[in-house]
Amino acid sequence: MNYNWNWSVFFREVPSGGATYVDWLLSGLGWTLAVAISAWLIAFVLGSVLGVLRTLPSRFLSGIATTYVEVFRNIPLLVQLFIWFYVVPELLPREIGDAIKQMDPTTSQFMTAFIALGLFTAARVCEQVRAGIESLARGQKNAGLALGLTLGQTYRHVLLPMAFRVIIPPLTSEFLNIFKNSAVALTIGLLELTAQSRQISEYTAQTFEAFIAATVLYLIVTMIVMLAMRHLEKRVRVPGYIGAN
């Protein structure tokens, strides 16, 4: 294969001037981090609440959480993103819809991307929180209640502290997924890391350099997340319990 390698392409000035292709990659990385981290905040908070709801005795409350999970987990992420971006503004009252559409495009792309990604991932986090709670011996909840704690206190002081420790490994996977899934934002025009590398490949015809650079950046980010989560897992382990070795 006669490919013409040229790694110095990243230090060339971009056609619109005032920046190099490295700046494009870094700005892409910035958007990827921004989307992923803000989506993770939504996913973690909402997912935890829903996960708790699913394990409650109330049929009504657990029904709400179950419905949420089934809806958001069973619709492809890309379709959800398109619904939020193209369909929802049409369903709102006309003035609000138009206001959203006339917003600064980057802001509206960013907001749509992190909300869509956060709500999608919340369904997955919810299932893990539920699984974590259900993995605990039933005696723990009963013991908490027998000690005179309310149901809320039992969750707060007995069940959740253990459940979250148990699910750190699967949560790590979700957190990694959110970085990788953030690439869907390019379909609504947000210039995140994958979009920028495509852009560089289009402008310079140096496809492999552009995508190798993006791959390396994704790897660095996910490695850092993995190490941080492993460190967290060690810090909070309970000797003699799951995952404590």
Partner 1 sequence: MLNLVRASMAALLCAALASSPFALAQELTGTLKKIKDSGTITLGHRESSIPFSYYDDKQQVVGYSHELALKIVEAIKQELKMPNLQVKLNPVTSQTRIPLMQNGTIDLECGSTTNNSERQKQVAFSNSIFQIGTRLLVRKDSTIKDFADLKGRNVVTTAGTTSERLIRKMNEAQNMGMSVISAKDHGDAFLMLESGRAAAFMMDDALLYGEIAKARKPGDWVVVGKPQSFEAYGCMMRKDDPQFKKVVDAALANLMKSGEINKIYAKWFTSPVPPKGLNLNFPMSEELQALFKNPNDKAFE
Inter-residue contact 179 to 32 (CB < 8 Å): yes
- CB of 9 or CB of 178, closer to partner 1: 9
What's the Rg (C-alpha) of the chain?
22
In DSSP terms, which residues pair with 13 in a beta bridge?
20
The minimum distance between CB 221 and partner 1, in angstroms, equals 22
Inter-residue contact 54 to 126 (CB < 8 Å): yes
Show contacts with partner 1 in window 10-69 (CB under 8 A).
15-18
Show contacts with partner 1 in window 184-203 (CB under 8 A).
186-189, 191, 195, 198-199, 201-203
- CB of 116 or CB of 162, closer to partner 1: 116
The minimum distance between CB 125 and partner 1, in angstroms, equals 28
Show contacts with partner 1 in window 108-127 (CB under 8 A).
108-109
Residue 240 binds to partner 1 (criterion: CB under 8 A): no
The minimum distance between CB 204 and partner 1, in angstroms, equals 6
The whole-angstrom separation of Cα 77 and Cα 128 is 18
The minimum distance between CB 24 and partner 1, in angstroms, equals 12
The CA angle 3-206-32, to the nearest 5 degrees, is: 140
Residue 101 binds to partner 1 (criterion: CB under 8 A): yes
- CB of 208 or CB of 241, closer to partner 1: 208
For 22, residues 6+ apart whose C-beta sits below 8 A from its C-beta are 10, 11
- CB of 56 or CB of 77, closer to partner 1: 77
Centre a 10 Å sphere on the Cβ of residue 119 and count the other Cβ atoms it contains: 20
Total residues found in the chain within this entry? 245
Write the DSSP string, 82-123.
Answer: HIIIIIHHHHS-HHHHHHHHHS-HHHHHHHHHHHHHHHHHHH
Residue 60-89 contact track with partner 1, rule CB under 8 A, x = bound: --------------------------x--x
Query: Which span sits near partner 1 by CB under 8 A: 32-40, 106-114, 141-149, 212-220?
Result: 106-114
Phi–psi pair at 55, nearest 5 degrees: -100, 0
The minimum distance between CB 187 and partner 1, in angstroms, equals 5
The whole-angstrom separation of Cα 3 and Cα 97 is 48
Residues of this chain that bind partner 1 (CB under 8 A): 1-4, 6, 15-18, 86, 89-90, 98, 101-102, 104-106, 108-109, 186-189, 191, 195, 198-199, 201-205, 207-208
